[in-house]
Structure 1
């Protein structure tokens, strides 16, 4: 048999099919074990804070809370698979996403409640009173933050304005207005009206160039057709450009490239175009998301060399790349300005600290190497949980300035 061999004692080497199947089963078991541990921890701490830890609530209250938390542990992954897997049930996704957001906020503030508990111990407050005070404080704070965070997620994003000096920019391009959208994440909650208001807000900014830095939707172009349609009304003087994000590669990336072209945008699928203003030129380049290579789609991968092929090396380059961490390649290539999204600014505090482990920047303007600057948007929409807490959404207006 190809790929396997037997020794004199009849044993089969590690390359055999049974061995590979065994290794695959071990990896699957390991992933499931990690998932179970994370879920149990995520739900246990809020349950313990709210309904145990010497709170001594009346039995019906404690029982109802316990049943709710115990049922939610297996329900969450099942609903996630139903909502974001092949079935793509929007109802299941809405329930799962909301549950994830609620339990994350409860978990974070349950962890922080240890400080309040310590203060109450110092003040000599008894066990039951102390535990009830902590439980009520966590419940009230979480409820208030979730209500406010939902309003923040569903509102029209704020306009973030920033001037960026690009030393190689020609004088004719001084004052070029770049409007940035990112992470619109049209999804299980129908936000067609919100999408139309975003397009109107962009048009009021009178942009020279409008960029969409990826993660346009959670779902296929057919599923999110109505939500994405207002993007076709966006206006710009010079160009409207778009690159894929990681979420497109779980929902028909090529279909989204084609759909954006139908809506009048230029998909920068490892390619560039040149815009001119006042006699000077600027290269607008874009690369596929960093996850494209593992998607299995032919011709999809982040390829900066292809994106810049044929471009005049003396011209300044604005690069669209969905993930901020692509800036290492951009800096090596001498890119002037990279625009990214992906991080959502953390979306729900304190998740921003976990995002920072994976990405070099969570939000804002940063410098990398001698020439390259990176602007990371907090995103225009939201992914999954319909909450934004201490990470407001944004439509970004970047004004380019020459030296």
Structure 2
């Protein structure tokens, strides 16, 4: 039922956005005067494609190529909606100033309209490209009290391997991470976003990741959506990652622990258990906690840890959803002090969820340069 309500809501919003674009942009532009029927057909076809994707995105009817194609068709509506909204705001300003856009010379008006259409096309392309590209590195320096040696950590979150992002995307991430010669790699949830059997042909590529102390992995919410037991069976059988589900590891000079995702509370399986994760740790040493949702830090006492690493938010992914993320999670992206001892770092993530669309929130691979305080 929730799936149907969500699908209907999104489809309705994009349908209304397409109507708005037609009425307030297509019908207003003199350059499109003889192309109105064509654009009406294009916008209606877009709406049908968007509705089709919402209904069948979780089915087996869409192979990877078609899934990626339909997922990218939200970008034109989204981008041209905000372009049209900006134009209406400009018209309002001109009206308040006692001027009229209609009185501008025809040549200038046509030139302006062509610029607007090209700009809309460019940001549509850029928003899709920003979602599907292999991210660049974001390097962050963090001081941790009593850390006796510097530690270079590659942090990966929200890769969302599935129908949109798969083997090639993962291989390129691995190649980039290996070029950094890191001491440790952490994958903080939402690695898997498809039925586990579809990842079997290439998930073992994670074994190609190279670091001094190995790769540590904690669950995200999307792993639960595709059968948490099957996901764990796949990862344990095909990879050499150290999977931390309410478990900690003492590496001698530092501890690292991971907890189950908050969605486990609702599903009644592998919910966060911080007490259990701390059992094998010497908490007099610096400690890192992998917790996919940053909201975990508001629901549990994380004061024994020096650094919590989270993802989940995608940095908002699509404007203006960062505002909703802030309300729901309490954090969006970046480094946050939680107390004099404890810090939280939230990554924008390497991949994306849903439409192939990122605006005002670029994906990232993170290098954390951890140093002892001076």
Within 5 A, what are the aligned runs for 1:245-394? 245-261=220-236, 262-276=238-252, 280=253, 282-295=254-267, 299-394=269-364
CA contact (8 A) 1:248 1:256 kept: yes
SS at match of 1:352: helix
CA-to-aligned-CA distance 1:45-69 (integer Å, 9 cap, x gap): 223333235759435x222222333
CA contact (8 A) 1:346 1:353 kept: yes
Give the Å deviation of 1:301: 1.3
Counterpart contact for 1:110–1:138, Cα < 8 Å: no
Following superposition, the deviation at residue 213 of structure 1 comes to: 0.9
Following superposition, the deviation at residue 136 of structure 1 comes to 4.6
Q: Which whole-Å CA distance do the structure 2 matches of 1:304 and 1:372 have between them?
A: 15
Equivalent in the alignment of 1:70: 44
- CA 1:94–1:304 in structure 2 vs 1: closer, same or farther (change >3 Å)? same
Deviations 1:161-217 (A, max 9, x none): 1111112x332xx31111101111122235422321211221122222100011113
Which moves more between the two structures, 329-338 or 133-142?
133-142
Gaps of 5+ in 1: 1-23
Of 84, 90, 106, which residue of structure 2 is paired with 1:116?
A: 90
After superposition, the Cα gap between the structure-2 partners of 1:126 and 1:88, relative to the gap in structure 1 and judged at 3 Å, is closer
My pick for the range that moved more, 148-157 or 390-399, is: 148-157
Match of 2:198 in 1: 223
* 1:74–1:292 CA distance, 2 compared to 1 (3 A): farther
Q: Check whether the contact 2:153–2:367 (CA below 8 A) recurs between aligned residues.
A: yes
Query: What is the DSSP-based 3-state SS (H/G/I as helix, E as strand, rest coil) of the residue aligned with 2:138?
Result: strand
Partner of residue 139, structure 2? 161
Whether the aligned pair in 2 keeps the contact of 1:293 and 1:302 (CA below 8 Å) is yes
Residue 44 of structure 1 and its aligned partner are, at CA, apart by: 2.8
Q: 1:127 to 1:29 in 2, by over 3 A?
A: farther
- The alignment status of 1:150 with 2:128, answered yes or no, reads yes
Confirm or deny: 8 A CA contact 1:286 1:319 kept in the other structure. yes
Contact 1:49 1:135 in 2 (8 A): no
Kept in 1, the 8 Å contact 2:311–2:347? The answer is yes
Q: 211-220 or 100-109: which moved more? A: 100-109
SS state at 1:269 partner: coil
Q: Number of paired residues? A: 368
Question: In the alignment, what sits opposite 1:49?
Answer: 24
Cα shift at 1:95: 3.5
From 170, 173, 180, the equivalent of 2:147 is 170
Of 139, 153, 157, the residue aligned with 1:182 is 157
Label 1:324 to 1:134 Cα distance change in 2 as closer, same or farther (>3 A): farther
SS in 2 for 1:386: coil
Change (3 A) 1:96 1:212: same
Greater gyration radius: 1
Q: CA deviation at 1:377?
A: 0.8
> Is the counterpart of residue 96 in structure 1 residue 70 in structure 2?
yes
User: How many Å separate the matches in 2 of 1:367 and 1:131?
Assistant: 51
- 1:37 deviates by 4.5
Change (3 A) 1:34 1:158: closer
With the length of structure 1 as denominator, give the TM-score of the two structures: 0.80
Query: Structure 2 residue aligned with 1:398, among 355, 368, 371?
Result: 368
Pairing 1:194–2:169 present: yes
1:230/1:328 Cα in 2 relative to 1: closer, same or farther (>3 Å)? same
Query: What TM-score, normalized to structure 2?
Result: 0.86
Match for 2:184 among 203, 209, 231? 209
Structure 2 SS opposite 1:223: helix
Query: 2-side partners of 1:178 and 1:315: how far apart?
Result: 17
Taking a change above 3 Å as real, the CA distance of residues 81 and 331 of structure 1, as seen in their structure-2 partners, is: same
Deviation, 1:338, is 0.8
Asked whether the 8 Å contact 2:250–2:280 carries over to 1, the reply is no
1:99–1:268 Cα change, 3 Å: same
Mean alpha-carbon deviation: is it higher for 216-225 or for 129-138?
A: 129-138
